[in-house]
Amino acid sequence: MRRRGVDASLPFSVFAETKKGNMDMHIHMRRPVTVLSIAAVVLSASLIAPLSGSGQTHAAGGVLLRYHWTVGQHFSERATSSQDIAVVFPKVPGASSTSKEIDRYISSYTVTKVFPDGSGLVHIVYSNVSITKDGKTAQYPLKGYALDLKVSTLGDVLSKTTTGKASADLPSDITDPTPIDYPKAAIPVGGSWTRSDTIASLGTMVEHLRLESVGSMQGRQTATLVVTAAVPIWTTMNGMAVKGTLTVSGKQVVFVDVFADAAPVHMTMSLNATIKGPIDGVTMSGTMTISSTEDGIPLS
């Protein structure tokens, strides 16, 4: 269940480092609303309780969003995220830099156990994992690597077990998937709720989720969710002051019974900021622009 949107939920994994006068920075988007894992948010595998008569529960005042786990549920998706970064120091020749990264992988989720309180244990594995950076591609087989998340009916991660090891270079969607959490009360079609997350190096960020519509596809109930965020950023990374605005937007159509993607998903994220601080003992001022997209295609 990946959260889609910002490194999802607000959903970001961020790290930065300076190398020979250049700032090398990567931000991975976690899709806020996805089916488990992960992340897709998330986004993943968030589930909504079925409607009366067809997969979704209508309560007084709206729709009650809940995970509704069943042993044997299985879903998978192909994810591709692309990120372009440009750091410009106009007064320092040779100090500016650009970078492009494309991450690809297939995530598969299987519900292996349902507990008396309605929470479910979801087993997550990955395949066809690769990272292409500035034209060079590295493969990550991830043989023996898996995650088991116990997720409540509201989306809280009650426990997490990791089997095997994964490279630190991998997107946080793989190493630290986070399902989306739902509002405790029923929500009407057209209604929205917010969720916040504290992201390393960026601080607390808030995203807005709106239930745009409910419908059906292939005889199954669907829900359309819209994710947006416009977050002021004012922080310090490796001694560099960063000030700007991060925006996120996207829409996701999911099957309400398992919150698996019912249609291809496209999310966008951008960060436009000014940067100032010392690099190799020299105070430098410039701009940083990051543009990211994340696309998911349901496979099963």
Tens digits of per-residue pLDDT, 23-81?
444 444 433 333 222 222 222 222 222 332 233 444 446 888 788 889 999 989 999 99
Q: What is the pLDDT of residues 235-244, one digit of tens each?
A: 887 788 989 9
Give the per-residue pLDDT at 6.
40
Q: What is the pTM of this model?
A: 0.76
Given a cut of 80, is residue 272 above it in pLDDT?
yes
More confident residue, 229 or 11: 229
Alpha carbon separation from 176 to 7, 11, 93, 245 (Å, rounded): 10, 11, 38, 25
Please report whether residue 4 resides in a domain. no
Q: Predicted confidence band at 17 (pLDDT cuts at 50, 70, 90)?
A: very low
In a domain, 218, yes or no: yes
Q: Is there a domain that residue 7 lies in?
A: no
Asked, for residue 296, whether it belongs to a domain, the answer is no
Range(s) of the domain holding residue 111: 12-291
pLDDT at residue number 147: 94
Name the more confident of 285 and 49: 285
Residue 207: CB atoms within 10 A of its CB come to 28
Q: How many domains are contained in the chain?
A: 1
Length of the chain, in residues: 300
Please provide residue 175's backbone torsions phi and psi, each rounded to the nearest 5 degrees. Answer: -85, -25
- Residue 3 maps to a domain: no
Q: Evaluate whether residue 297 is within a structural domain.
A: no
Give a yes or no: residue 259 inside a domain.
yes
Domain assignment present for 299: no
